[in-house]
Amino acid sequence: MSVWDFIITNAPALAIAVPLLGAFLTPLIYRAGRKTALIWVLSVLGFTEFLALLLVYLVNTYGIQVYVFGGNPSTLAIPPDSGGIPIRIIFTVDGMSAFTALISSTIGLVAGIYSVASEKGRGAQDKFFALLLLLVVGMMGMALTGDLFNFFVFLEINSLSAAALVSYRIHGGKAVEAAFKYAVVSSIGALMILFAIAILYGEYDALNMAMIAERMYQTGFSAMDMIAMALIVVTLAMKCGAVPMHYWVPDGYGEAPGEISAMIMVASQASLYGLFRMCFTVFGLSANTHSLGWFLIILGLLSMFIGVTMAFLQHDIKRLMAYHSVSQTGYMLLGVGVGLATLGTSAFNQYGLFAMEGGIFHILNNMLYKGLLFLTAGAIIYRVGTSDLNKMGGLAHTMKFTAIFYLIGALAIAGIPPFNGFVSKLMIYESVYQLNPFLAVVAAIVSMLTLASFLKVFHSAFMGPKLYNVKEVPKSMLIAMGILSFFIVLFGIFPNIAMTYLVAPAAHALADPVGYITRVLGGGA
Partner 1 sequence: MIFNAPFISVMILIIFGLYAMVFRRNLIKVVIGLDIVESAVNLFIVSLGYVKNGIAPIYTNSPGGAMVLPTPQALTLTSIVIGVATSAMLLSFCILIYRYYGTLDTRKVRRLRE
Partner 2 sequence: MMNPFNPSISTPSGIWNPLVWILVFLLSLLIAYVIYLKGEKQRKKGMQEEIFLSGNKADGNTHIKASNIGWGYLEAMKGYYKLMRDIHTGIINDYVGWFLGVLATMLLIFLFWGGVR
Partner 3 sequence: MRNILMLIVFLTIISFFMYVAINPGDFNSQTGEHFVFGSPKFTDMDNYFIHNAQNQTGANNVVTSIVFDYRGFDTLGEASVLFTAVLGVGLALRLLRGDKK
Please, what is the minimum distance in Å from the beta carbon of residue 239 to partner 1?
15
Among 36, 82, 218, 222, binds partner 2 (CB under 8 A): 222
| Residue at 62: amino acid letter | Y
**Quick check: 280 binds partner 3 (CB under 8 A)?**
no
- Choice between 189 and 257, CB closer to partner 2: 189
**Site mask for partner 2 (CB under 8 A), range 118-157, x = bound:** ----------------------------------------
Closest by CA position to 281, among listed 106, 513, 504: 513
Question: For partner 2, which is the closer residue by CB, 90 or 308?
Answer: 308
Binding mask 21-60 for partner 3 (x = CB under 8 A): --xx--x---------------------------------
| Sequence-ordered list of residues with C-beta below 8 angstroms from that of 166, at least 6 positions apart, any chain | 175, 178, 179, 182, 252, 255, 256, 260, 264
Q: What Å distances lie between residue 390 and 173, 235, 372, CA to CA?
A: 22, 36, 22
Q: Which is nearer to partner 1, 160 or 389 (CB)?
A: 160
CA distances for 429 relative to 118, 286, 288, 335, angstroms: 38, 29, 25, 9
Taking the complex as a whole, the smallest distance from the CB of residue 172 to partner 1 amounts, in Å, to 6
β-sheet bridge partners, residue 65: 93
Beta strands per DSSP E along 98-203: none
Q: Establish if 525 lies at the interface with partner 2 (CB under 8 A).
A: no
505 binds, options partner 1, partner 2, partner 3, none, Cβ within 5 to 8 A by partner type: none
C-alpha triplet 419, 403, 492: angle, nearest 5°: 10
Q: Which is nearer to partner 3, 141 or 524 (CB)?
A: 141
Q: In 10 A of CB 105, how many CB atoms?
A: 28
Shortest approach of partner 3 to residue 233 CB, angstroms?
14
Looking at the Cβ atoms of 164 and 499, the one nearer to partner 2 is 499
| Residue (146 or 352) nearer to partner 3, CB | 146
Distance between CA atoms of residues 328 and 362, nearest Å: 8
How many Cβ atoms are within 10 Å of 421's Cβ, its own excluded? 30
Describe the crossing of helices 400-414 and 437-457 by its angle, rounded to 10 degrees: 170
By CB under 8 A, residue 83 contacts partner 3 = yes
Residues near partner 1 (CB under 8 A): 149, 152-153, 156, 160, 163-164, 167, 170, 172-174, 176-181, 183-184, 187-188, 191, 194-195, 198, 201-202, 205, 207, 250-251, 254-255, 310, 313-314
